[in-house]
């Protein structure tokens, strides 16, 4: 056992019998110090089959997707579909504080392993259930992969260009969001257990977990009957707003949000262009006066007043073109840094490479290295989402091989070598 003395969840054991939707939940708990046991079917967790793979070698022990979501965890194999497997699982439950699962609602109850069944074995158990639509309600048995959660939550409707199909968020964000809410719910339940000694069930629906990300969509409809929809690069429907949206640079893109509160006004952008001799005719009338007025009040007025819109549209289009030419002459990181020096709200559109090379992330040593002896290579992983001064987030252990901790974990509950060999022979572990 290599539990860290100074980790926040050092006394917590988690049994993860969930599918892909729960992997990030238990990673968050493991990275905070919990002893997380990934319970895999004897042929390995299904997410091990998902790429990208280490050097593109398709191999259940080389999925980078799975690696990323299983740092600090242990792995045992266990066939929950067999009654011997379930008996074995029942023997593990007394050692656990938390069970995380994602079966269709009712499935575990039928096997006697739902909340009531688990609480009989360990009365203060926390059972965290993560599914597409939660434990009850008319859609609770609907099949939900990531994109189905994004669709039903209302967030996908808002993403992409108007003329394209709505866009899926990259990176299984439905699963990630469900997992984040599940980890928070689990910790809330654990805190309650610490105080009162009482366990309970945490019900997480991917659809509900994502809902907050609709931003103002629900309230726009509820308060004003204004339907929000996806508008892609336009940012404001039917209007070109110079400085808002993606701009192409020599080597990629930056993204602007000019003229909004918090950043410098458009006049500062004009000064920057003029300082470099690239403001073209924008420093002359009528553009100069127009840019001095260019901000949210004018744009809001134009939105509700077609004549104003008609009057200003050609100005906006011209300014947009000059701005495009200006930013197109720059490297994206230069545009980012120079804009920020002037308090202009422009950010780099980072690629994964940009992030790994990012000055700020490097300075803060965000990325962290883990040695994989089987690959004889040190892999670089994303680091802590948050840093806790007394109970540090830490990568202590590389992701587990399939069933790597069978002997250790089953040994703890008194399984002898012979019994283990029998169970292995029967395909239970």
Partner 1 sequence: MAAPPPLTGIRVADFSWFGAGPICSQALATFGAEVVRIESETRIDGLRSVAPFPPDKNSYNVSGWFNNYNAGKLSFSLNLNLPKGKEIAYRLVRWADIFITNFTPRVVERWGLTYDELARVKPDIVAAYAPMQGMDGPRRDYLGFGAVLCPIAGFNHLTGFSHREPVGLGTNYPDYVVNAGHTLIAILAALRHRHKTGQGQRIELAQIESSVSALGGALLDYTVNGRVEERQGNRVPYASPHGAFPCLPVERPLWPGEERPTDEVAPGDDRWCAIAVLNDEEWQALCTAMGDPDWCRDEKFSTLLGRKQHEDELEQRIGEWTKDKSAPEVMEILQAAGVPAGAIQTAQDVLENDPHLKARGYYVYLDHPEAGRTAYDGPAFRLSKTPGYLRSPAPCLGEHTYYVCKEILGMDDEEIADLVAEQVLY
Q: Considering the complex, state which of residue 11 and residue 87 has its C-beta at the smaller distance from partner 1.
A: 11
Return the residue of 115, 266, 287, 326 that touches partner 1, per CB under 8 A. 115
Q: Which of 171, 274, 276, 324 binds partner 1 (CB under 8 A)?
A: 171
Which of 59, 87, 162, 329: binder of partner 1 (CB under 8 A)? Answer: 162
Question: Is residue 245 a contact point for partner 1 (CB under 8 A)?
Answer: yes
Question: Does 216 participate in binding partner 1 (rule CB under 8 A)?
Answer: yes
**What is the C-alpha to C-alpha distance for residues 320 and 313, in angstroms, rounded to an integer?**
11
Contacts for 317-320: CB closer than 8 Å, 24+ residues apart? 317/240, 318/287, 319/242, 319/282, 319/287, 319/290, 319/291, 319/294, 320/240, 320/242
- The rounded distance, in Å, linking the Cα atoms of 74 and 52 is 21
- The neighbouring-strand residues paired with 205 are 131
Binding mask of the shown chain, residues 271 to 310, with x at each position contacting partner 1 by CB under 8 A: ---------------------------------x-x----
* DSSP assignment string, 288-347: HHHHHH-SHHHHHHHHH-HHHHHHHHHHHHHHHHHHHHHHHTS-HHHHHHHHHHTT--EE
Q: Give the gyration radius of the chain's Cα atoms.
A: 27
d(CA 264, CA 63): 45
Supply the minimum distance, in Å, between the C-beta of residue 332 and partner 1.
Answer: 10
Site string for partner 1, 391-420 (x = CB under 8 A): x-----------------------------
Residue 78 or 210 having the CB closest to partner 1: 210
CB–CB of 20/66 below 8 Å?
no
Return the structure tokens found at 48: 């091990």
Strand 35-40 with 13-16, pairing: parallel
Pairing of strands 252-257, 98-101: unpaired
Q: Which two tokens stand for residue 380?
A: 């670089």
Residue 227 CA to residue 298 CA, distance in Å, equals 22
Q: Does 58 bind partner 1 (CB under 8 A)?
A: no
Phi-psi group of 12: left, alpha or beta (phi > 0 → left; psi -120 to 50 → alpha; rest → beta)? beta
Q: Is 5 in the site for partner 1 (CB under 8 A)?
A: no
Task: Select the residue interacting with partner 1 from 30, 209, 269, 270 (CB under 8 A).
Answer: 209
Q: Which of 41, 51, 45, 50 is nearest to 22 (CA)?
A: 45
Least distance CB 245 / partner 1 (angstroms): 7
Question: For partner 1, which is the closer residue by CB, 344 or 415?
Answer: 344
Q: Site map for partner 1, 14-43, x if CB under 8 A?
A: --------------x---x-----------
- Residues 78 and 275: their CA atoms lie apart, in Å, by 67
Of the pair 2, 360, the CB lying nearest partner 1 is at 360
Q: Is 89 in the site for partner 1 (CB under 8 A)?
A: no
H or E stretch covering 190: helix 173-196
Residue 190 within binding range of partner 1, rule CB under 8 A: yes
Residue 111 vs 379, nearer CB to partner 1: 379
- Does the footprint of partner 1 cover residue 222 (CB under 8 A)? yes
CB 68 within 8 A of CB 28: no
Check residue 313 for interaction with partner 1 (CB under 8 A).
Answer: no
The answer to the question of residue 156 lying near partner 1 (CB under 8 A) is yes
Contact residue for partner 1 among 225, 285, 286, 297 (CB under 8 A): 225
Which of 21, 96, 108, 150 is close enough to bind partner 1 by CB under 8 A? Answer: 150
Say what the alpha-carbon torsion angle 266, 272, 277, 282 is, to the nearest 10 degrees: 10
Please report how close the Cβ of residue 45 comes to partner 1 at its closest, in angstroms. Answer: 14
Residue 109 makes contact with partner 1 by CB under 8 A:
no
Near partner 1 by CB under 8 A: residue from 5, 223, 277, 289: 223
Among 284, 285, 360, 418, binds partner 1 (CB under 8 A): 360
Stretch in the footprint of partner 1 (CB under 8 A) among 87-95, 187-195, 282-290, 406-414: 187-195
Check binding of 195 to partner 1 (CB under 8 A): yes
Interface positions, 246-275, toward partner 1 (CB under 8 A): 246, 248, 252-255, 257, 260-263
């Amino acid at each position: 056992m290599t539990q860290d003395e100074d980790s926040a969840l050092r006394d917590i054991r988690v049994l993860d019998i969930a599918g892909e939707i729960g992997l990030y939940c238990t990673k968050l708990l493991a990275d905070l110090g919990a002893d997380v046991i990934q319970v895999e079917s004897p042929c390995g967790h299904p997410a091990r089959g998902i790429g990208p793979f280490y050097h593109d070698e398709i191999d259940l022990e080389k999925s980078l997707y799975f690696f990323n979501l299983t740092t600090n965890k242990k792995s045992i194999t266990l066939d929950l579909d067999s009654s011997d497997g379930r008996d074995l699982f029942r023997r593990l439950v007394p050692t656990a504080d938390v069970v995380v699962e994602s079966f269709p609602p009712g499935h575990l109850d039928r096997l006697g392993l739902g909340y009531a069944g688990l609480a009989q074995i360990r009365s203060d158990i926390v059972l965290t259930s993560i599914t597409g639509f939660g434990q009850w309600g008319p859609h609770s048995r609907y099949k939900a992969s990531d994109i189905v959660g994004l669709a039903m939550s209302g967030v996908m409707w808002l993403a992409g260009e108007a003329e394209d199909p709505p866009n899926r968020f990259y990176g299984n964000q439905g699963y990630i969001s469900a997992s984040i809410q599940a980890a928070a719910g689990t910790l809330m339940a654990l805190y309650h257990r610490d105080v009162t000694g009482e366990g309970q069930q945490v019900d997480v629906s991917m659809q509900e977990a994502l809902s907050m990300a609709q931003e103002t969509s629900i309230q726009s409809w509820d308060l004003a009957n204004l339907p929000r929809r996806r508008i892609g690069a336009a940012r404001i429907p039917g209007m070109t707003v110079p400085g808002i949206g993606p701009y192409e640079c020599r080597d990629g893109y930056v993204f602007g949000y000019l003229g909004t509160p918090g950043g410098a006004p458009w006049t500062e952008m004009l000064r920057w262009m003029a300082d470099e001799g690239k403001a073209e005719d924008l420093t002359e009338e009528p553009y100069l006066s127009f840019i001095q007025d260019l901000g949210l009040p004018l744009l809001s007025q134009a939105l509700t007043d077609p004549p104003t819109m008609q009057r200003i549209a050609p100005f906006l289009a011209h300014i947009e073109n000059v701005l495009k030419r200006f930013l197109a002459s720059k490297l994206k990181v230069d545009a980012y840094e120079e804009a920020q020096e002037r308090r202009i709200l422009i950010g780099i559109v980072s690629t994964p490479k940009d992030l790994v090379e990012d000055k700020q992330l490097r300075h803060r040593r965000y990325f962290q290295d883990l040695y994989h002896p089987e690959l004889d290579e040190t892999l670089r992983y994303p680091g802590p989402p948050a840093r806790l001064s007394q109970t540090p987030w830490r990568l202590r252990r590389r992701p587990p091989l399939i069933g790597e901790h069978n002997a250790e974990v089953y040994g703890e509950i008194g399984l002898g070598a012979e019994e283990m060999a029998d169970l292995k022979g029967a395909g239970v572990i």
